[in-house]
Amino acid sequence: MNLDLQHIVIAPILIPLIAGAMMLFFDDRERRLKTVISLASTGALLAVAAMMLWRVHNDNDAAALVYLLGNWPAPIAINLVLDRLSAIMLVVTAIVAIPAIVFAIERWARVGPHFFTLFQFLLVGLNGAFLTGDLFNLFVFFEVMLAASYGLVLHGSAPSRVKAGLHYIVINLVASLIFLIGIALVFGATGSLNMAEIALRAQSLEGFTEPALHVGLAMLGLAFLVKAGMWPLGFWLVPTYASAAAPVAAVFSMLSKVGIYSLLRLALLVPAGGEAFGSALIFIGGAVTLIFASIGVLASQSMQRASAYFVLMSSGTLLATFGMSEPAATAGALMYLLSSTLAVSAFFMVVELLERERDAAADVLAVTMEAYGEAASEDEGEEAEVRRLMPGALAILGIGFSLLAMVLIGLPPLSGFLSKFAILHAIMGPASHAGEGDAAMRIALAVLLILSGVTALIALSRMGIRTFWAPVEPMQPRVTITETAPILFLITVLFALVLLAGPVMAVVTAAAADLHDPSRYLGAVLGAEHVPPFAQESK
């Protein structure tokens, strides 16, 4: 590996960090300049992440690119590790961040201070969490990410937003304390913070240190599951995401994935294939979360709350599938992660544009009309409504809503169907090896995947009818190209997932294989060599 490739690993952290720091020197009235800096930063981030994914996926010699901060030898150095999984997460983060910034330009960047700066620091925390190879810096990047998210979730200062934001802050502070205690227990048991070295030393622990490690890992798992939103630990998620501004909620769809990523990363490194974290318990928690989210989607009268429940539905599906601890199921879950994250992010933006000028009492009136029916005297009004031409903006939003609904439901031929089919094929197909103990888990997961799609179909059909087909009151949303372009961009990416399903599935399958065979990751991290001095290198 040459010097340039070693240093490129730190670029996803430095790019948004420098951009965010630069914008602190400019007044908020310089919005155009801050917009240019933010777009340039996230565009460069996407280019770098895509290049890194291509590099690590096509290199057969190295399972991961390792960057040793301070040039100390492994495992003493604070290391950044780029493998297929972390590269995938970096690419998805950048793809979601660009449309979120563009969407915020029209309105949300103006309703509060330092929006673009906080957004860039949020990307620093996200990218750092995906790249770090040691537990303490995972905690540090978690806190950077959360500190920025505190400002973003309160952005706009609406009463509901402040109330939900304060709950969000308190819950995450408690989770961070549990995270820190877990790190201390793991360090006391193994004498290391490097995740690769912890996995290596965990194989030979004896006496008191072994239960101490398991308690520490359990506390880490608890903190990760709070971030992931697993029931009943995720009661904060729906009010927070439903109250946040649309571009903030869109990028927050990646925040829950950080907890899932961290859990998956560490669980498959320690011995016994995730049993130290309780893979069966994770499956049960994910299944219950999926059931809870499905009921929440059906019960939601607000599209914003329904969007937040779709985030929980995504987390429940991922946790239950990862709890199976099988490479093929993990690959399908990673495909589902890509599809659901992009679809939910775009859905938040569509809902924002639809509900911006909608009267809150219209939802209550719609429920009443569903329950008691409409009077016969209103038939003529219905006929006139059917004949009215749909405005152009509403037509675009209707098409976007329909396509995103198909992805969230899992209807063919879009990416939601392909990802769910990959999971079902992995757990129920001819290549699956169902033992007596996990046959019930496989059947339960298959049933829940199908039922969650049915509940999403019912809920989204009801929302579509209320909004587009038979609205209580006429609606003509006033939207701009700046607000519709991000939605069209994410829908285009979802279509690209379908057209490139083969190559994408090859990448996630290779990432899943690396996760379930941690020897290559351990060899890359523990065998990383520090960069020779410049004088020696020039010789």
Pick the most confident of 2-16, 258-272, 401-415.
401-415
Q: Are 62 and 1 in contact (CB under 8 A)?
A: yes
pLDDT computed for residue 472 by the predictor: 57
309 pLDDT higher than 80: yes
- Picking from 25, 126, 201, 56, the residue whose alpha carbon sits closest to that of residue 511 is 56
Rounded Cα–Cα distance for residues 511 and 508 (Å): 5
Retrieve residue 388's tokens. 């009215």
The residue type at 434: A
Q: What is the pLDDT of residues 444-484, one digit of tens each?
A: 889 999 999 999 999 999 888 888 776 656 667 677 788 88
Mean pLDDT of the chain: 82
Q: How confident is the model at residue 380 (pLDDT cuts 50, 70, 90)?
A: very low
Give burial (CB, 10 Å; 0-12/13-18/19+) of 472: middle
Q: What is the pLDDT of residues 204-230, one digit of tens each?
A: 777 777 788 888 888 888 899 988 888
373 pLDDT higher than 50: no
Q: Are 19 and 40 in contact (CB under 8 A)?
A: yes
Rounded Cα–Cα distance for residues 172 and 241 (Å): 14
For the packed helices 135-153 and 159-190, what is the interaxial angle rounded to 10 degrees?
180
Q: Are 333 and 268 in contact (CB under 8 A)?
A: no
pLDDT computed for residue 470 by the predictor: 66
- How far CA 482 is from CA of 70, 118, 282, 478, in Å, comes to 43, 21, 41, 12
- Picking from 231, 248, 255, the residue whose alpha carbon sits closest to that of residue 89 is 255
Assign residue 241 a region (left: φ > 0; alpha: ψ between -120 and 50; beta: otherwise).
Answer: alpha
Rounded Cα–Cα distance for residues 428 and 183 (Å): 38
Q: Which residues contact 28 (CB under 8 A, 6 or more apart)?
A: 34, 113, 114
Q: Are 57 and 84 in contact (CB under 8 A)?
A: yes
Q: What is the pLDDT of residues 77-116, one digit of tens each?
A: 788 888 899 999 999 999 999 999 999 888 877 777 788 9
Average pLDDT value for residue range 374-400: 54
Q: What is the pLDDT of residues 24-59, one digit of tens each?
A: 888 877 888 888 999 999 999 999 999 999 888 887
On whether the pTM is more than 0.85, the answer is yes
Q: Are 343 and 284 in contact (CB under 8 A)?
A: no
Average pLDDT value for residue range 370-376: 43
Percentage, residues of the chain above pLDDT 70:
85
Please state the domain extents for the chain: 317-370+391-431+438-499
Planar angle of CA 165, 173, 312, nearest 5 degrees: 60
pLDDT computed for residue 368 by the predictor: 44
Long-range contacts of 497-505 (CB under 8 A, 24+ apart): 497/338, 497/339, 497/342, 497/415, 497/418, 498/413, 498/414, 498/415, 498/418, 501/415, 501/418, 504/335, 504/338, 505/331, 505/335, 505/422
Q: Is the previous residue joined to 75 through a cis bond, with omega within 30 degrees of 0?
A: yes
